Amino acid sequence: MKFNSYVCVAVFAIFLAVVSPALAESIECSSGTPTSIPVTEGASVTLTASPDSSEYTYDWNVGNALTVTAGGDGNYVTFVVPACDATGDWDVQLVMNPTGNSAEACKDTCLYTVKCGGLCGCPSITDACIADSTTWTYDCSNSPESLFYEWWVSTDAATTPVVANPLTWGTKQVADDRVYTPSPTWTGFNVPTDIDPVTHTWVTFIVRQDTNHDGTPDKVIKFCPPEDVVLYFNPSTSMDSVIS
């Protein structure tokens, strides 16, 4: 596309949408009915307009619900998607025009609707005998890589962890992994013994988002119901005999 200061031509924008975890794909620009962009809650999304030139002005409007983490003043914008709410979608608009000429004939308006889809259900966290190797897995193929998948353990059996009070969550045993295999010594748990062969420990799977884009998760996207995990001791039995 070419233009000069004497000739005004219509702007045509094409987007490359980078929606974690999907690969980038081209999506058409629509100035009438918004085009849907399906994403998973908590995803980091980058929209890139083409052509990219300092001779164009890019006016992005993503609203307040989507947190912009990069761009927004050039040909791209990156934002994070919150947890799906009742409506589950948000509008994004780009108005693009040659710099210095804002006539309607020289503008192209692109409208998109970010359609929010929820994460998968919670993992199955089962009781265990301490002699067995145990692994719990969050199986969710469409879960964004930009999220943090955490496993928390609390030995305070009398206090159920609640989302509103992180102090009740206990100790974070896994900082970011969909799989949790407790150590052979069951570090962080109320470990049963020969005189106390049955114990209870809270295990909570939590998915959080880094809204500040500083590498530290700060917002809960998914808080699974805490599981009261029962651990059982593996006794080594001996027997005395008395013959009379």
Instruction: Write out pLDDT tens, residues 156-213.
Output: 999 999 999 999 999 999 999 999 999 999 999 999 999 999 999 999 999 998 877 7
68 plus 40 within the same structural domain: yes
Please give the residue range of the domain that contains residue 21. 14-117
90 plus 154 within the same structural domain: no
**Whole-number pLDDT of residue 159:** 96
Q: Are 92 and 58 in contact (CB under 8 A)?
A: no
For residue 238, tell me if it sits in a domain. no
* Nearest to 15, CA basis, from 128, 114, 101, 85: 114
CATH of the domain at 112: 2.60.40.10
88 plus 135 within the same structural domain: no
User: pTM to 2 decimals?
Assistant: 0.75
Q: Are 102 and 240 in contact (CB under 8 A)?
A: no
Q: What's the domain count of the chain?
A: 2
Q: What is the mean pLDDT of residues 28-42?
A: 78
Give me 105's structure tokens.
């004939």
Identity at 208, one-letter amino acid code: R
Tell which of 86, 117, 148 closes a domain: 117
For residue 227, tell me if it sits in a domain. yes
133 plus 106 within the same structural domain: no
Q: Per the omega criterion (within 30 degrees of 0), is the bond before 21 cis?
A: yes
Report residue 228's pLDDT band, with 50, 70 and 90 as the boundaries.
very high
For residue 24, tell me if it sits in a domain. yes
For residue 102, tell me if it sits in a domain. yes
**Whole-number pLDDT of residue 153:** 98
Q: Are 229 and 182 in contact (CB under 8 A)?
A: no
Tell which of 91, 117, 143 closes a domain: 117
**Whole-number pLDDT of residue 8:** 36
